[in-house]
Amino acid sequence: MTGPVTGYPSYPDYRSSQSKQERIVEQAALDQVRQLVEDEVKARFPGGAIERVALLQYGDESVVEPGELVVRIYVAAPGGREERERVAQDFKRSFHREVEKFREDLAQRLPEARRLELRFGADDNDRVGIVELSRPARSLEARALAGGELTPVMARLGPLDLETLDTLITAGIATNRADAVRWALARIRERPAYEQLRARAREIEELKAQF
């Protein structure tokens, strides 16, 4: 059996010379890294029915942030929804430790890969059995800047909102979309009108308490 690949090419070496601010990797370089990742995945999960590995970058799908890569592993899971869910559960039971170890190694050797996805079945439109293993970007730094623990907040954004956040990233103002949202909120707090809104909100709460 082939052993794990010893290392991946350095991602920054493959930044496009035409548009570094957008942080787009040239396709030939991306294909080379993807093939290395796929070879290692198949070596680490023998008998896991790995069909293929996709490596997504900014611009491929809206969920991928500037400078980010997403490793998506497709596991063979024919049949209907129930069958794919069974395959997903069997895979997680058999390879739980291997998946965690692969994610840890991937974080060190390909730090731009902020998310690892396992998809069971070939239909991208059917999200049954998907396992998404996200690695927070600069979580310790973010907590230090915020002065404490951060609270996860789910938000669904349209194309214009995503473009706004991604512009802050490519301009170097923020490191990721969460950081861009925090930056924008900080700018709102700096405006004098915000303090007036807070004072008015406290007045309203006091009035409500009187009823």
Per-state percent for the chain, helix, strand, coil, to nearest 5: 50, 15, 35
Return the number of other C-beta atoms located less than 10 Å from residue 86's C-beta: 14
* 21/111 same-domain check: yes
Residues 36 and 105 both lie in one domain: yes
Which of 135, 170, 192 is where one domain is finished? 135
Residue 71, by phi and psi: left (phi above 0), alpha (psi -120 to 50) or beta? Answer: beta
77 and 165 assigned to the same domain: no
User: In terms of domains, do 187 and 211 share one?
Assistant: yes
* Shared domain check, 141 and 129: no
Same domain? For 142 and 188 the reply is: yes
Residue 18, CA atoms < 13 Å, CB-side half-sphere: 4
The verdict on 164 and 122 lying in the same domain is: no
Report the interhelical angle of 177-190 vs 192-209 (nearest 10°).
80
DSSP 48: S
The pLDDT of residue 173 is 92
Spell out the residues 6+ positions from residue 20 whose beta carbon is closer than 8 angstroms to its own: none
CA-based radius of gyration for the chain:
21
pLDDT at 141: 47
> Could you report the per-residue pLDDT of 100-123, keeping only the tens digit for each?
899 888 888 888 888 888 888 866
Task: Return the pLDDT at 136.
Answer: 53
Burial class (CB in 10 A: 0-12, 13-18, 19+), 164: middle
Domain end marker among 135, 166, 184: 135
CA 64 – CA 55 distance, rounded (Å): 11
Same domain, 131 and 141: no
Residues 78 and 155 in one domain: no
**Dist. CA 41–CA 35, nearest whole Å:** 10
Say whether both 27 and 69 belong to one domain: yes
Question: pLDDT value at position 1?
Answer: 42
pLDDT of residue 158: 92
State which residues of the chain have pLDDT below 50: 1-5, 11-23, 137-144
For the chain, how long is the longest CA-to-CA vector?
A: 74
Range of the domain at 118: 1-135
**Rounded CA separation 175/172 (Å):** 7
What's the total number of domains in the chain? 2
Co-location of 63 and 1 in the same domain: yes
Query: What residues contact residue 28 under an 8 Å CB cut-off, 6+ apart?
Result: none
Give the pLDDT score at 183: 93
Among the candidates 135, 152, 174, a domain finishes at 135
Distance in angstroms (rounded) separating the CA atoms of residues 152 and 34: 30
